[in-house]
A and B are shown apart, each in its own frame.
Chain A
Amino acid sequence: MTGITRQPMKAPFCMAVGLATLSLLVAPNSVPLLAAEDTAIRFRAVDVYVDSKEKPLAAYQLELSAKEGRAKIVGIEGGEHPAFKEPPFYDPKAMQQDRVIIAAFSTLPANKLPKNKTRVATIHVQSIGDRQPEFALKVETAGTVGGKKIKVQARFEERKVE
């Protein structure tokens, strides 16, 4: 017989696989997707610096994100200068995600605020696999004494493992 023949087991299998895939797409936060080739978990510390040149830095707001979702944020700590020693503000929902907005302000007088390049925070991330995660850092705003907006440069450096 050359007509169309139906293979009954293929249809349910395809339906189940399709719906399971749809379920994963619908609820990406509830089921982690792991790369099949390398699932080794590593922890990294990313130091975040702000350079306000000669102006005292009174406030900053930055967004850090991991490209391709290869890293998850697991912890955030404060910076090196006393004005920004405390951990910055961040959304707790950023934990276990690949994106965070950090911000801090200080009402200390100008002579007690950092100038030039200063480490304002350290972000601890968990990465999966050997591939180095790539990060993107964006300055949302920064200000000096009195809340006046200033231009700053922000950069990050992954801390070397000793």
Chain B
Amino acid sequence: MNSAQPNRPDEEPHAPAELVKALKSMHRARIFVPPSVDEAVLAKAREHLAESTSTPGTRSIRAALAKARAYLAEFNPMPFAWRPLAPWAALAASLAIGAWLAHTLTKPASNADGGAAFAREGLNHDGKVDILDALVLAREIEQGQEPGAQLDLNGDGVIDRRDAEVIAKQAVNLEKGGRA
């Protein structure tokens, strides 16, 4: 190691005296650089760097971000902390999802008796499906009349009192449309 750097920084170099003298004299003569040259070099450097690192798009984004930073610094002296909100947000989201699931799962199923059939039950032709239609069908069945096959409302192949009951159940349905 010492062979590569034989002199310590505070020691005079072990070199010929002429060489040492010539080297020292180089730093005595100061070259004057006018400030206008400094400014010109600096301006050129800035221009060069701006052209090489940004496009018009990125410049406008930078400007917008700078404005946003300035706005936040003015109106939001305390930085908004999002992390403490996370448990609350999770709790609220789980409550909402739970309520939605409960509502969806407890929603009653559609009429099991088959809604498509109910357009046929305006037996007394008053435009409404009500208990009077059930009464009319029940009476026809009891009197031995043969109602049309379309009144096999429960689809069991037989037209009997149970078909009249299908109409009655439709009449009291809380979600009924009401019109035949």
Chain A residues with a Cβ under 8 A of chain B: 1, 3-6, 8-9, 11-13, 15-16, 18-20, 22-24, 26-27, 29-31, 58-61, 88-91, 93-94, 97, 99-107, 140-141, 143, 146-147, 149
Tally B residues with Cβ within 8 Å of A. 47
Are the CB atoms of A19 and B131 closer together than 8 Å?
Answer: no
| In the complex, the 5 A-B pairs of residues with the closest C-beta atoms, listed nearest first | A12-B88, A23-B99, A27-B103, A19-B92, A30-B102
Are the CB atoms of A6 and B80 closer together than 8 Å?
Answer: yes
Are the CB atoms of A29 and B106 closer together than 8 Å?
Answer: yes
Contacts of B104-135 to chain A: CB distance below 8 A? 106, 108, 123-124, 126, 128, 130-135
CB distance from A144 to the nearest CB of B (A): 10
Extra contacts, 7 of them, besides A3-B77, A105-B164, A107-B139 (Cβ < 8 A), are: A3-B75, A8-B84, A15-B89, A23-B99, A26-B103, A94-B174, A147-B133
Q: How far is it, in angstroms, between the C-alpha of A108 and the C-alpha of B15 when the chains are bound?
A: 139
CB distance from A92 to the nearest CB of B (A): 9
Which secondary structure dominates chain B's binding surface? helix
A/B pair count, beta carbons within 8 Å: 138
Are the CB atoms of B99 and A15 closer together than 8 Å?
Answer: no
CB distance from A79 to the nearest CB of B (A): 14
User: B7 at the A/B interface (Cβ < 8 Å)?
Assistant: no
User: B78 at the A/B interface (Cβ < 8 Å)?
Assistant: yes
Known: A20-B92, A26-B100. A141 touches B85 (CB 8 A): no
Are the CB atoms of A23 and B95 closer together than 8 Å?
Answer: yes
User: B171 at the A/B interface (Cβ < 8 Å)?
Assistant: yes
Q: How far is it, in angstroms, between the C-alpha of A114 and the C-alpha of B89 when the chains are bound?
A: 63
For A23, A24, A146, A149, the residue with the greatest tally of chain B CB atoms inside 10 Å of its CB is A23
Are the CB atoms of B85 and A12 closer together than 8 Å?
Answer: yes
For B80, B93, B134, B164, the residue with the greatest tally of chain A CB atoms inside 10 Å of its CB is B134
B138's partner among A19, A31, A107 (CB-CB below 8 A) is: A107
Q: How far is it, in angstroms, between the C-alpha of A79 and the C-alpha of B100 when the chains are bound?
A: 40
Are the CB atoms of B103 and A12 closer together than 8 Å?
Answer: no
Are the CB atoms of A26 and B135 closer together than 8 Å?
Answer: no
B168's partner among A19, A22, A103 (CB-CB below 8 A) is: A103
